[in-house]
């Protein structure tokens, strides 16, 4: 007798969601995970079915001549899952598609319906939080799939495929293999490149001003700054032209030079000081709205130092654990349930006086805001804190920030009072400003971060002493201070996200992957939270701007985004839009065909930068300098830590001169009897023990510490460097050696897997054992990378199988074997069984783990004694 049918088969994306929702729905429902996308366009040639491989369009994965029909394939790893879901569907009364409430989720739901071919009713179930009330309510209020959303997502996917697969091969031919172009990616790179070129063109200006340390009659001290002299305003940084380094034309200001400033400093020491005016100004600060995807990424970067990718991964875990609402949203609105819960919690935690008198409702400013219908907030009705939720680590920090911002949005305004004292000394006018918080309001819960690290936070007070007009002041000291104007700041992840959103470039839900991609592809490197474009980025951007300017134009890209939104609203037909974008005289396909021949590879790879007498070329092995000297051409590698805007002619000339001279012999090594050389490579200058020969293909090399001039390195210093890494002693805890050395990222001390960079005041050649132990005690102990998800134990040896985030994306690891997670899966969606299959496939590919390699080497001598005939390996075997 057949078993009783389930009320419904509920399909979500990830096992974590399936487990949580299954617990709410009970045994009447079967809840399963699709593991992300169940099918997609082919990623590689091997994925393309044999019957269409000979078709010209097959490499694109889109039949552009037949209404842009996409070629969808089910990856081999998903076929068993599809079969299993079909089997479960036969025993269910209905199919409930409960994928995420954004366009991506709508698309996944549609693909599932297309593949499963249900004979039972199909319902679409959406929710913004994974709580019991929300899930049960969503089950009672299902709807049909929104085909406009599905079509919009499909069109977006096709546009991105056509863009990348048409332009990337052009970059391979003209600049360098393995480069990529992308609809949003290339515009994001352009934003960063334009800022770098602005920095390159920047000319600094110098100005002076005075700062006075003053005291009232009651000996209360404060500081004031010179603002005017002889009735004329003193020039400040904002008055300079960034292109010339001079005062802007037409500016009626007084520019102080060093002599004038110091003469004035001397004169004012013996002048009487008095208060001439006191100005008061009240200000009300209203709280910011609750978080959207974009603002969450920005604030997490500013306050927590988290990358956009790390922020979204952490938020995903919080969402799937039922702790926050859906994290891909443009909306700043809160549900009535959330507002009531928030206001109750404010009263309980801060008191009714901190509650906003009226309910605050925020309106979304983003054009055509979509994705989820509510802002990011703590899930449920209780608004528990991070401690009450039992959270720790990054999850706790991010949740706490979300909780505080949610509280703040329903709290009272902060009230501030600004006081400005105008002070005169002879013909000089000084000003001192103080700030007092008269009522903290929402500051009690949350203060928004700043992109400028020198900006004071809003809740910081700086009061002035009580003063009145005509009060005499005592001048205790006057300093003449020199200032130099600064170039435009490079983008951080926070400011890049803000810029892209303001320009309408892409969607906030994709920013994390875009920022990760441009770093992974070598277009950008990150240093001190700055996103610095590489010379490769400059070359690619130059080619695209010169030959495909519309494709990287901000307005054109924003209009594309709007058109894709219009498709989601049913206002635009997708086939005519795609045809206009790709086909026709001005379509992408024809643009590439007609312009390709006119792009000279040498010119595309060459950068003529402002202020350089040599050219920068982007080669296969990295950027290098090139300069014509008569009939000869001199080249020199550019170290990878040199930023385009920081490269000047003096630096370039020195690199070229050093390369022309070739390896400089400092002398002979007293023990080895070979020359000690100084050379410059892609990672900067280094010393080398002996020449490269057949007998000595890899001579010892040690980097010269950054900040040390190459010409200052003599034989004695070089010999000391070649002793690195040097052993300082044995660690008192583990008995392992403590070492001091120089690596790619500078001088360090090390004990086993624990590393700590030396401070600027430390010298790697003289740092002592005690100082090394002190530094190591401050280091984070590295026990290997931290898994972002634990899948379970391997059935063969009970060792853990975990998911990690690596330089080139996410991967699964078991012992010493790593396997990349395919693009159609995510850390959240992959199962233990799928991971084991990937690991087995990796081992079978002929690339053994480290342990196996060691074992092989040890076994080799014994194996050599056996006189077994050589056997030709079969296809696929390791030779």
Annotated active-site positions, please? 326
Beta strands 701-703 and 684-689 are antiparallel
Which pair of tokens denotes residue 322?
Answer: 């039922």
SS (H, E, C) 681-707: ECCEEEEEECCCCCCCCCCCEEECCCC
Distance between CA atoms of 309 and 501, rounded to whole angstroms? Answer: 16
Distance between CA atoms of 457 and 465, rounded to whole angstroms? Answer: 21
Q: Which residues contact 287 (CB under 8 A, 6 or more apart)?
A: 360, 408, 409, 411, 413, 414, 441, 442, 446
Contact 427, 229 (CB under 8 A): yes
Contact 34, 26 (CB under 8 A): no
Give Cα 228 to chain centroid, integer Å: 43
Helices (H), 225-292: 258-268
> DSSP assignment, residue 461?
-
> DSSP assignment, residue 126?
-
Q: DSSP 3-state assignment of 830?
A: coil
> DSSP assignment, residue 548?
-
> DSSP assignment, residue 736?
P
Which pair of tokens denotes residue 484?
Answer: 């130099």
Q: Could you give phi then psi for residue 24, rounded to 5 degrees?
A: -80, -35
Q: How many residues does the chain have?
A: 879
Q: Which residues contact 564 (CB under 8 A, 6 or more apart)?
A: 152, 155, 156, 159
Q: Which residues contact 410 (CB under 8 A, 6 or more apart)?
A: 339, 342, 343, 346, 355, 356, 359, 360
Q: What is the b/e burial string over 550-576, where b = at least 16 CB atoms within 10 angstroms of the residue's CB?
A: ebbebeebbebbebbbbbbeeebebee
Contact 537, 185 (CB under 8 A): no
Q: DSSP 3-state assignment of 431?
A: strand
The widest CA-to-CA distance across the chain, in whole angstroms, is: 107
Q: Tell me: cis bond preceding 343? Omega within 30 of 0 counts.
A: no
Distance between CA atoms of 159 and 470, rounded to whole angstroms? Answer: 70
| Closest alpha carbon to 78 in 860, 843, 849, 830 | 830
Q: Could you give phi then psi for residue 834, rounded to 5 degrees?
A: -65, -40
Other CB atoms within 10 Å distance of the CB of residue 490: 21
């Amino acid at each position: 007798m057949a078993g009783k049918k389930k009320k419904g088969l509920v399909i979500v994306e990830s096992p974590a969601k399936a487990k949580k929702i299954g617990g709410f729905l009970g045994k009447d429902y079967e809840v399963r995970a699709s593991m992300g996308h169940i099918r997609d366009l082919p990623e590689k040639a091997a994925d393309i079915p044999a019957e269409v491989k000979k078709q010209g369009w097959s490499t694109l994965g889109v039949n552009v001549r037949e209404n842009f029909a996409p070629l969808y394939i089910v990856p081999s790893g998903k076929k068993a899952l599809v079969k299993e879901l079909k089997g479960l569907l036969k025993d269910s009364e209905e199919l409930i598609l409960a994928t995420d409430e954004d366009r991506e989720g709508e698309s996944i739901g549609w693909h599932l319906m297309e593949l499963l071919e249900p004979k039972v009713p199909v319902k679409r179930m959406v929710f913004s939080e994974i709580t019991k009330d929300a899930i049960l309510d969503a089950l009672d209020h299902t709807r049909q799939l929104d085909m406009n959303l599905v079509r919009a997502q499909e069109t977006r996917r096709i546009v991105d495929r056509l863009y990348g697969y048409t332009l990337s091969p052009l970059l391979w031919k003209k600049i360098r293999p393995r480069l990529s172009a992308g609809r949003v990616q290339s515009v994001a790179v352009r934003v960063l490149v334009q800022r770098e070129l602005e920095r390159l063109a920047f000319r600094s200006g110098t100005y002076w001003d005075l700062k006075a340390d003053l005291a009232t009659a009651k000996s209360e001290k404060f500081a004031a700054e010179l603002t005017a002299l002889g009735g004329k305003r003193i020039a400040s940084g904002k008055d300079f032209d960034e292109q010339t380094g001079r005062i802007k034309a037409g500016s009626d200001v007084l520019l102080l030079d060093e002599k004038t400033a110091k003469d004035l400093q001397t004169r004012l020491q013996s002048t009487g000081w008095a208060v001439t005016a006191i100005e008061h100004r009240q200000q009300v600060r209203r709280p910011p709205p609750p978080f959207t995807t974009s603002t969450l990424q920005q604030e997490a970067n500013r306050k927590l130092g988290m990358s956009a990718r790390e922020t979204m991964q952490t938020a995903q875990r919080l969402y799937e654990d039922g702790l926050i609402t859906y994290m891909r949203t443009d909306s700043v609105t809160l549900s009535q349930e959330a507002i009531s819960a928030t206001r109750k919690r404010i009263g309980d935690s801060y008191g009714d006086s901190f509650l906003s008198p009226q309910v605050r409702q925020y309106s979304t400013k983003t054009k055509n805001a979509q994705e989820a219908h509510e802002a990011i907030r703590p899930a449920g009705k209780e608004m528990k804190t991070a401690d009450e939720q039992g959270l720790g680590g990054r999850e706790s920090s991010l949740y706490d920030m979300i909780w505080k911002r949610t509280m703040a949005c329903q709290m009272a305004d902060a009230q501030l009072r600004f006081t400005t004292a105008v002070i005169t000394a002879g013909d000089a006018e000084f000003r001192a400003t103080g700030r007092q918080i008269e009522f903290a309001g929402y500051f009690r819960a949350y203060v928004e971060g700043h992109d400028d690290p020198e900006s004071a936070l809003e809740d910081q007070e700086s009061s002035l002493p009580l003063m009145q007009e005509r009060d005499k002041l005592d001048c205790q000291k006057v300093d003449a201070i020199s200032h130099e104007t600064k170039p435009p700041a490079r983008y951080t992840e926070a400011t890049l996200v803000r810029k892209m959103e303001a320009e309408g470039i892409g969607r906030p839900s994709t920013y994390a992957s875009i920022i990760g991609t441009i770093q992974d592809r070598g277009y950008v490197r990150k240093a001190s939270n700055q996103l610095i474009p590489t010379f490769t980025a400059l070359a690619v951007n130059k080619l695209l701007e010169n030959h495909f300017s519309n494709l990287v134009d901000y307005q054109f890209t924003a209009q594309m985004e709007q058109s894709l939104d219009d498709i989601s609203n049913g206002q635009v037909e997708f086939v005519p839009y795609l045809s206009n974008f790709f086909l026709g005289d001005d379509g992408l396909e024809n643009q590439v065909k007609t312009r390709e021949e006119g792009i000279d590879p040498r010119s595309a790879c060459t950068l003529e930068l402002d202020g350089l007498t040599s050219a920068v070329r982007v080669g296969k092995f990295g950027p290098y300098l090139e300069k014509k000297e008569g009939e000869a051409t001199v080249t020199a590698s550019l170290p990878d830590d040199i930023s385009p805007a920081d490269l000047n002619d003096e630096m370039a000339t020195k690199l070229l001169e050093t390369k022309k001279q070739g390896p400089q012999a400092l002398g002979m090594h007293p023990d080895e009897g070979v020359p000690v050389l100084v050379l410059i490579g892609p990672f900067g200058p280094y010393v080398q023990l002996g020449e490269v020969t057949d007998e000595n293909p890899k001579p010892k090399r040690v980097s010269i510490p950054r900040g040390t001039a190459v010409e200052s390195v003599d034989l004695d210093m070089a010999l000391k460097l070649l002793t690195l890494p040097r052993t300082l002693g044995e660690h008192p805890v583990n008995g392992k050696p403590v070492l001091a050395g120089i690596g790619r990222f500078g001088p360090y001390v090390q004990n086993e897997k624990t590393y700590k960079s030396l401070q600027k005041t430390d010298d790697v050649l003289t740092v002592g054992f005690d100082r090394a132990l002190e530094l190591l005690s401050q280091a984070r102990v590295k026990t290997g990378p931290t898994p972002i998800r634990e899948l379970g134990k391997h059935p063969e040896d009970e060792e853990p199988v975990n998911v990690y985030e690596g330089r080139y994306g996410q991967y699964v690891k078991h012992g010493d074997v790593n396997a990349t997670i395919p693009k159609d899966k995510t850390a959240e969606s992959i199962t233990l069984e799928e991971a084991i299959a990937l690991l087995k496939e990796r081992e079978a590919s002929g690339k053994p783990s480290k342990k196996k390699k060691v074992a092989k080497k040890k076994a080799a001598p014994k194996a050599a004694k056996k006189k077994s005939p050589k056997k030709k390996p079969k296809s696929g075997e390791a030779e």
